Structure 1
Amino acid sequence: MDILAKPQNDDDPVFRVALRQSEIRYRRLFEAAHDGVLILDCVSRKITDANPFMSQLLGYRHEELLGKELWEIGLLKDEQASQAAFRELQNNGHVRYEDLPLESKSGEKREVEVVANRYDEDGTQVVQCNVRDITERKKIEDALRSSEERFRTLFELGPSAVYACDARGVIRDFNQRATELWGRTPARGDDSERFCGSMKMFRPDGSFMPHDQCPMAEVVSGELAEVNDEEVVVERPDGSRVTAVVNIRPLKNEHGEVTGAINCAYDITERKQVEEHQRFLMGELAHRGGNLLAVIQSIVSRSLAGTKPLAEERNTLIRRLQALARSQSALMSKGFQGAPLAEIVRLEFEAFTDRVTAKGPDVMLNSRAAQTFALLLHELATNATKYGALSLPDKGEVDIHWSIDGEAEEARFKFQWQERDGPPVVVPARKGFGSLLLDRLASQDFGAQPTIAFAPGGLSYSIDASLPTMTAGSERTNLLRSTDYART
């Protein structure tokens, strides 16, 4: 029965029963509510009624709450705050506090949400305050906020590029590492930015990979359940390319439907370069090992082919092999890509630093030129030590000078060896293996005929060759071959 549908007589038994039932329902709601309810007198601002939950929340007995103002039970800061709240109620008819600190009788700290409404009760203005305990909700919100902060910190500081797409593949979030990998910063939520923030993508074999065919697209579409350690090549706006390993996991809702995916990728370009360099070195070592043995065989056979005593020939052989070893040491220090000419000279003349002057610009000889040059210098040094400027104990000097004339493909490499203040120069009666090195091998490897002059003032040796023929380049150069030492 709707007791408000039409005016009723207070003496009407039916009306009194309906009214009583309504009051009982209200009281049950009032008593059983899991929110605190306070009824206050609008004039005195004092509590006239409170439900059990309010006593439970504050730790006051019902009779202790009656007659108190809100600030006296810790709901508002002080009496001044209470007066301000009631003024707002008088003006607006309601007031709301989203987050109020509350201290119970025992000193327990709680967080509450308060909604107060003013209404008329039989001509008297009363205020009803609904107080909701949001302490646990605030704890959950704080924990969630802390978790999100930790995730965001990890997201930004992690060493990997991380980005997320929604179910349509639109990029929704990414970290700084992702922008570094892509070489650009895409717009979050832009429908044109889908599946990956890179300009272009390629497969490891170099074939073009459209964005809608990339691993992220396959996971978002459900074609793949996940992606583990798959390599992709990303092209940046400047045209440079990097190789990345991607790991992708789908995001799903409570129904198991894919709502997006997260891609965690890391740049392995440097690792790939190291692996490629290692493969190059292994191939180079295998190549050099075979050729070097052939060179040694030829040096041995030619060094021991003369008529000199075996002990003398053995010493000569050892010194030539040591010169060859020095060239390999210089090459190894540069990853077999080449060797600095100055380093080859230094290694050969460490024992004659006060009598040998060497000057010239930085020149990186390729592997074959470096090896040949080391042998040439050794033969010149050996000749100077036995017969030339370095054979005398207290005088005699050697000047070594090299220079570069011209530029690019026209550049010339000029080398000059000049002895002075040594014993009288004698033209050799026969040509041995050393002469073969100084003449024929230099001509073959440098593409230029050297000039040897047995002048009275001291032996001189010069080379005028094409610089590109001798310097280190991107292509691997061959070593000396055993056929270069063949008899004529």
Structure 2
Amino acid sequence: MILESGPSGLVLVDGGARIVFVNEHAGELLGYARGELVGQPVECLVPDRFRDGHPDLRRVFDLSPRDRPMGTGRDLTARRKDGSEFSVEIALKPMVVDGRPYVLAELVDITERKRTEDRQRLLIGELNHRIQNLFAVIQSVALSSLSGERPLREARDVFIDRLQSLGRAYTLMTEQEWRGAPLRQILASETSAFSDRVTLDGVEVMVKQNAAQSFALLLHELTTNAVKYGALSAPEGSIAVRWSVERDLRPMSFVLSWQEDGGPTVAPPTRSGYGRKIIEDTMRRIGKHSIEYAPQGLKYRMEAPLEKVGWVVDESAM
């Protein structure tokens, strides 16, 4: 009764390696009906590829029988009646009954635990990849922000602003459990201080992690430039941001445009600033772009394969 009511699968094997008792839980784990395993060699529970070597392992155990976990540090599997396998932990306990040797094997199904461990390893690997990626991005931002002739205080403020932009993008990705970040929210977070003067118009697109970093930096630089020199530096200035997915292009492409209007007359810059360099370096990773310094307002356009950017949330909206 004690063996039957145990929470683990229990299999009792005699000195000839024949099964003499199996409790109900072990029968359920192994897919056998009650009593069906009694009299069978214990090797019937061993996966085919390990079966030939199992008698040698038994003989080693018989030379020095003692309570011990089986296969410490190894992945063990048991074979069900239908030939399928599952991950197990096995503890062996030698016994002597009426002068005859037996071994009681305790089987614990650890399939779910193994799945959890595999998920943890995957998550740790993914986290390590993300951390390395983030460090690389921060290094790039630091180099572009802190180099050159810019005064240290100004360079520090620029660097912090860019890090905060990245932080907002990471917050959005965290809220989406790292599936991606909604492009509209990236745009809204970067232009929130001027929401009454910035129009956002486009399909709902979920942006991949690497692309989300790129978009955050890109839009931060465009917004910062508009505040300092462009449409947002004048009370009547405005910006229209439009994006779409062009199915007719090969490969299918994501297209975004940034159009400023109502600001000071635009003149092409006499030198390439650090903001322009960040825009160019950022977009080089995912697509192509163009900047037009039109007198009535700066125009920016970028185009990239949709697969590098992300995916459309609602296909029916296209």
Q: TM-score surpassing 0.5?
A: yes
Could you say which residue in structure 2 is the equivalent of 1:372?
Answer: 214
Return the letter of the residue paired with 2:75. Answer: V
Return the letter of the residue paired with 2:218. Answer: L
- Distance in 2, Cα, partners of 1:196 & 1:460: 74
- Distance in 2, Cα, partners of 1:467 & 1:219: 62
Are residues 1:432 and 2:273 paired? yes
> Unpaired runs of 5+ in structure 1?
1-147, 202-207, 473-488
Could you say which residue in structure 2 is the equivalent of 1:462?
Answer: 301
Could you say which residue in structure 1 is the equivalent of 2:25?
Answer: 175
- 1:249–1:412 distance in 2 versus 1, CA, 3 Å: farther
Are residues 1:414 and 2:254 paired? yes
Are residues 1:284 and 2:129 paired? yes
- 1:384–1:192 distance in 2 versus 1, CA, 3 Å: farther
- On the 8 A contact 1:196/1:211 being kept in 2, the answer is no
Query: How many residue pairs align between the two structures?
Result: 298
2:298 aligns to what SS in structure 1? Answer: strand
- Distance in 2, Cα, partners of 1:432 & 1:252: 85
* Offset, 1:340: 1.8
Could you say which residue in structure 2 is the equivalent of 1:120?
Answer: none
* Offset, 1:173: 3.5
Could you say which residue in structure 1 is the equivalent of 2:115?
Answer: 270
Are residues 1:210 and 2:83 paired? no
- On the 8 A contact 2:206/2:310 being kept in 1, the answer is yes
- 1:293–1:457 distance in 2 versus 1, CA, 3 Å: closer
- Distance in 2, Cα, partners of 1:278 & 1:427: 49
2:226 aligns to what SS in structure 1? Answer: helix
- 1:213–1:462 distance in 2 versus 1, CA, 3 Å: farther
Task: Report which of the two structures shows the higher radius of gyration computed on alpha carbons.
Answer: 1
- Distance in 2, Cα, partners of 1:196 & 1:345: 62
2:69 aligns to what SS in structure 1? Answer: strand
- Distance in 1, Cα, partners of 2:253 & 2:310: 9
Provide the TM-score with structure 1 as the length reference.
Answer: 0.49
> Unpaired runs of 5+ in structure 2?
312-318
Provide the TM-score with structure 2 as the length reference.
Answer: 0.69
Q: How does 1:251-262 map to 2 (within 5 A)?
A: 251-258=95-102, 260-262=104-106
- 1:166–1:396 distance in 2 versus 1, CA, 3 Å: same
Match of 1:403 among 228, 245, 253: 245
Could you say which residue in structure 2 is the equivalent of 1:320?
Answer: 162
1:442 aligns to what SS in structure 2? Answer: helix
Q: How does 1:99-118 map to 2 (within 5 A)?
A: none
CA deviation profile, 1:409-465 (whole Å, cap 9, x unmatched): x7534131333543255143232112122234412x11x321223446643323222
Return the letter of the residue paired with 1:465. Answer: A
- 1:194–1:292 distance in 2 versus 1, CA, 3 Å: same
- On the 8 A contact 1:195/1:212 being kept in 2, the answer is no
- 1:334–1:209 distance in 2 versus 1, CA, 3 Å: farther
Looking at both structures, which has the greater relative contact order when contacts are Cα pairs under 8 Å and sequence separation is at least 6?
2
1:276 aligns to what SS in structure 2? Answer: helix
Could you say which residue in structure 1 is the equivalent of 2:226?
Answer: 384
- 1:241–1:255 distance in 2 versus 1, CA, 3 Å: closer
- 1:340–1:252 distance in 2 versus 1, CA, 3 Å: farther
- 1:362–1:187 distance in 2 versus 1, CA, 3 Å: farther
- On the 8 A contact 2:268/2:293 being kept in 1, the answer is no
- On the 8 A contact 1:219/1:227 being kept in 2, the answer is no
- Distance in 2, Cα, partners of 1:442 & 1:380: 13
- On the 8 A contact 2:259/2:298 being kept in 1, the answer is yes
Return the letter of the residue paired with 2:186. Answer: I
- Distance in 1, Cα, partners of 2:218 & 2:10: 60
What is the CA RMSD across the aligned residues, in angstroms? 4.4
1:225 aligns to what SS in structure 2? Answer: coil
2:92 aligns to what SS in structure 1? Answer: strand
